[in-house]
Chains A and B, each alone.
Chain A
Amino acid sequence: MSEQLKVPTMAEFMAEGKQPEILFWVGSAGSYDDRAKKITKAFVKILNKANVDFAVLGTEESNTGDVAKRAGNEFLFQMQAVMNIEVLNAYEIKRIVTCDPHSFNCLKNEYPSLGGNYDVVHHTQYIKELMSSGRLTIEGDTYKGKRITFHDPCYLGRANSVYDAPRDVLKKTNATLVEMKRHKGTALCCGAGGAQMFKEPEKGDMDINVLRTQDALETKPEIIATGCPYCNTMMTDGIKTKEKESEISVMDIAELIANS
């Protein structure tokens, strides 16, 4: 990326005796996965553009433990949670935003009973907030009239009933929003959840991401929008399986907004 991103850490804020507006929880995928890192940077670009006073934990952040919990390893989850909560509480974090619905769900719902109480929002909710308060405006017409279909991430949609924020944000790009047959509450999983991302699928007739990609293709989209790094990987793979990668791109809402 040519332009310099400003990514202050909590440690730096602490040294200056300041508190940021929000903590940006980057998450493991957002930190290490090549595709997801682009989403992370796109979101930082948005935060910079809207002059949001934010910080990341940087090397002090560790995996939320979400995936371990869903794999059945409650020990590992709680170890991770307790460690992260110690760091977050030491920095007196109040508000967290993340691009990963799995981290979002875990921090929001599963950390409180272990002593971690924060106001946690998903980046699509936060972008919507920035737009409604006038801190972020879309000037360009990059996506005007483009056919975009939004794939609801399970841990954003069904798990936490966040269906409108991503759609409201997408509408601001003046794109043509087309819904898949299965959407919102009945949306089909991309196939990555519940630790499936990290293992081969069980024997079956087809892969879940391919079935979900078929759902998306039925809407004849130019872009498949997601709000989750894992969904992004799964849908991107699905598009490749269907040999449609030259016509259709899979993009996170943060990227769409950052490009607008």
Chain B
Amino acid sequence: MEYLPNILFAIILVLGIGYFARNIKKLIRNIKLGQEVDASDNKSLRWKNVINIALGQSKMVKRPVSGFLHVIVYVGFIIINIEVLEIIIDGLFGTHRIGLKLLPESVYGFLIGAFEILAVLVLVSVIAFWIRRNVIKLKRFLSSEMKGWPKSDGNIILYFEVVLMCLFLVMNATDTSFQNLGHGNVISQFIAPWFGDNPDTLHMIERTAWWLHIVGILIFLNYLYFSKHLHILLAFPNTYYGSVEPKGKLNNLEAVTNEVKLMMDPNADPFAAPAEGAEEEAPAKFGASDVMDLNQIQLLNAYTCTECGRCTSACPANLTGKKLSPRKIMMDTRDRLEEVGKNIDANKGEFKDDGKQLLGDYITNEELWACTTCNACVEECPVSINPLSIILEMRRYLVMEQSAAPMELNNMMTNIENNGAPWPYNQMDRLNWKDE
């Protein structure tokens, strides 16, 4: 019976991590539904981006208030989680504060003291975040795509963090031996008196807080997959795979290049049979109408999006009341991808056509045509998400597969085809300005 807590701990830990790993596997499978994309170039620049943008939060602080608060929560969360390491060792081996045995008292005290201060700072920041969302009601948290689950999700994360930080402080405050140590209880010493001095009660509260803390962390870990909060993990790969090209550069579709070359080649035989062993026929479609047509980086983008709405708050179309919201593009992509993933789960690993797709059922033509391709959303995103690339991919589908461009754009394109300018002027008049 002596080892019961240890066994229980191990079971909870394995379950918690196991279920999370299962969902991460699912996430990777879903991302791989997308088209393959080569990102093997510029390795050093990509790592630099991870270090600056994800680790260093360089883009977060472009908006100083939320940036500063976020840095506190981010640093606090990473550093305080070192404590989790101790909790896991203690839990598995039945030790108590193993750190004290491994480190000099002063060092251990310094560490825990730092954690306690950070915990308070995180609490303050998280409360500030909650106020921004629920009391001040900042516009970017109130858009139409933020109703319902996204709104609750944002708040649930904050509640989780409040509870975890409080449990950590209570756990320290009620740990009599730790309090007697006199090192590191910089904050918890002030809370300790609240709990009286009955050693049994204190011990019980301490144990309860300890267990709830670790269970809470495991629940939070598993919550990530269902939440916008996945960014705490995916921000790192996402900034690695983010574009390293000038923002204005849009990819050239290779399938189109092949066809154009064929059309421009006077010696090409349009009826020729494909050469032996030649690449397979051109892909089934140009552009994207569903998540499987997007590439894997775009799908990773969708899972990484934490719905902060900086993109939307900088989008000229959105600012002037159009339906387009880059954040919604990302949220829709993730929602549809999840739907496809569940469909695959339900149909023994095969996707069964559900008569739905990203285009039309989630994202409307009106949204897509409102984009000015100005890259403001791309510039704003603190974790290198590119909503514009998805919009463009879907425009490509609309134009090249469905000929569904707005009429004025069709006129413009016809003009370019006929006379090499978007207006109906004669090509031979192109130099007339010289003499006007």
Bound-state Cα–Cα, A188 to B266, Å: 45
Interface size on B, residues (CB 8 A): 68
Among A9, A31, A189, which residue has its beta carbon within 8 angstroms of that of B316? Answer: A189
Bound-state Cα–Cα, A109 to B436, Å: 33
Chain A residues closer than 8 Å to B431, beta-carbon distance: 7, 9, 31, 56, 58-59
B144 to chain A, nearest CB (A): 14
Question: 8 Å CB contacts to A: which residues of B389-436?
Answer: 392, 394-400, 405-406, 408-409, 411-413, 416-417, 420-423, 425, 427-434, 436
Among B369, B374, B398, B420, which residue has its beta carbon within 8 angstroms of that of A158? Answer: B374
Question: 8 Å CB contacts to B: which residues of A127-145?
Answer: none
- Most chain B CB atoms below 10 A, which of A37, A83, A189: A189
Bound-state Cα–Cα, A161 to B421, Å: 27
Bound-state Cα–Cα, A201 to B366, Å: 10
The main secondary structure of chain B at its interface with chain A is helix
A235 contacts the other chain (CB 8 A): no
Bound-state Cα–Cα, A211 to B138, Å: 20
Chain A residues closer than 8 Å to B33, beta-carbon distance: none
Interface size on A, residues (CB 8 A): 71
A260 contacts the other chain (CB 8 A): no
A15 contacts the other chain (CB 8 A): no
Question: 8 Å CB contacts to A: which residues of B261-299?
Answer: 261, 263-264, 286-287
Please state if B264 and A82 are interface contacts (CB–CB under 8 Å): yes
Bound-state Cα–Cα, A108 to B397, Å: 25
Please state if A72 and B260 are interface contacts (CB–CB under 8 Å): no
Interface string of A1-36 (1 = CB under 8 A from B): 000010101000000000000000010101111000
Interface string of B221-264 (1 = CB under 8 A from A): 00000000000000000000000011111101100110111011
Please state if B256 and A74 are interface contacts (CB–CB under 8 Å): yes
Among B250, B320, B394, B395, which residue has its beta carbon within 8 angstroms of that of A207? Answer: B320
Interface string of B371-398 (1 = CB under 8 A from A): 1111110110000000000001011111
Bound-state Cα–Cα, A155 to B249, Å: 10
B425 to chain A, nearest CB (A): 5
Q: Given contacts A59-B431, A79-B263, is CB(A71)–CB(B374) below 8 Å?
A: no
Among B316, B370, B413, which residue has its beta carbon within 8 angstroms of that of A73? Answer: B413
- Most chain A CB atoms below 10 A, which of B374, B420, B427: B374
A25 to chain B, nearest CB (A): 12
Please state if A59 and B319 are interface contacts (CB–CB under 8 Å): no
Nearest residue, chain B, Cβ from A111: B252
B321 contacts the other chain (CB 8 A): yes
Nearest residue, chain A, Cβ from B256: A74
A228 to chain B, nearest CB (A): 12
Q: Hey, which bits of chain B sit against chain A, CB under 8 A? A: 245-250, 252-253, 256-257, 259-261, 263-264, 286-287, 314, 316-317, 319-324, 366, 369-376, 378-379, 392, 394-400, 405-406, 408-409, 411-413, 416-417, 420-423, 425, 427-434, 436
5 pairs from A and B in contact (CB 8 Å cutoff): A155-B248, A194-B373, A194-B374, A198-B412, A204-B370
